[in-house]
Structure 1
């Protein structure tokens, strides 16, 4: 692969991680407005308030960038990058069409899981470096949530890897068949719930519960640094949605896949993003004890049962 090709693929991945999360954010605003019966920002720019994102961007740019005097200056400023950059890397590893991937590496599934885990650490670092009691409490909640939900997330993906017999995302898509929708359904449910909790999205937003800890790890952040955390959250939604679409829904497989495979991948990922948005609108926030109980007493046993079922299926079919 030439240097020019590597550069072009890197720029494409960067453009995707900047555009797709903004589309996800705009979609969330509109879906929430319609589901909750409120107008929302419907008029900015004319058609359906398309320019609201531009207005929000201008607002964040104009806000003062404040670093608390007692904070760990370097770590405090680095935390937004820790939260965002791993999702840029993860998106570069996701194949959206046969032969179309920004960075094709062996065991890409394993690498995606590794970098996603790093991204979640951004909120923990922010909470620790802020020198604020509410931020610290939120950071500790984020750490506990990461430990609880990383395990069922990895176990559910391990079941798919066992069924496909590979750790390559592209090879998983090639090995996929429609009956996986039934066979791997429990693991798919575990993945969606655990992924939502990994992103600290409602109803799993205890680390940033505004009624309890102000804004948790983000309490002291303003301006563009706060915007980067929001961008990381939406980028995480896109990555998780695309990853589910690739692993459980067959990625680019569909009618006219040789020409429209990229469209099938994006549509399948969009369904998961909409599901995550629906969960935010429909479910109340879980208490911290309820959140931990769900992970250890429901999701982990269900993921282990899915692995056992997959192992039996692989042995019988093999």
Structure 2
């Protein structure tokens, strides 16, 4: 069975995107899957969380990052090997006495600059924006999609907003998870994201329209906060409407210190159950089952 591509995105930052990518990647790996995380965010948050400062600095110095690959491929017109930028066995977390089968294609601080340089370079060669989009789409299809033959799941950690690589990833993914805190500002960004990517593509008949509607994952949920409860009720009602622009996952990721602590790189090798505690059964297992059900139709 071919692996599945999952893009995790939102227009707004600070909505639990990196937390979701790390915990979902490790939960899928603990479930027995072979997982690759691709960092499309120039902040490199997920790269730091998984690899740590020292290893990430080494990978940046050696050019083993996403932006180094893109620069060589689209600006210097070389034929770099994408697989050479993937670091295997990157997580220190273990499960049942074995390290998680989790790999990382990291990004570094120059990703956004490289994206701009690609646009400048191709524009200088008289490429239209439509043609530039086509070039990025071709790279995604030729080099990223085939990775699904090696990995069961590929998680694409997208940058906040809509960068060129984020847009391609969202349009090419089998599942798009949009993380959102249930409050006014976060859901405002959600509506803008859905309108820009899904509704506009549908109206324009874009050839790069996403495969399916996005699935919203509520994060940092606090039941005791009235705004959170009321916003969640509104999201549930909107998701059930006939013209709904998104679907709502049943799983809720709570605001919890243990989940925040799970992002901090450790010098020791924690077990999966010790790292996430009660959230394994309350959040991670339900989330994995829900994601698998969406992707595999069960």
Q: Which has the higher strand share?
A: 2
Tell me which structure has the larger Cα radius of gyration.
1
RCO higher in 1 or 2 (8 Å CA, sep ≥ 6)?
2
Do both share a fold (TM > 0.5)?
Answer: no
Question: Please, what TM-score do these two structures have when normalized by structure 1?
Answer: 0.24
TM-score normalised by the chain length of structure 2? 0.25
**Going by fraction, where is helix more abundant, 1 or 2?**
1
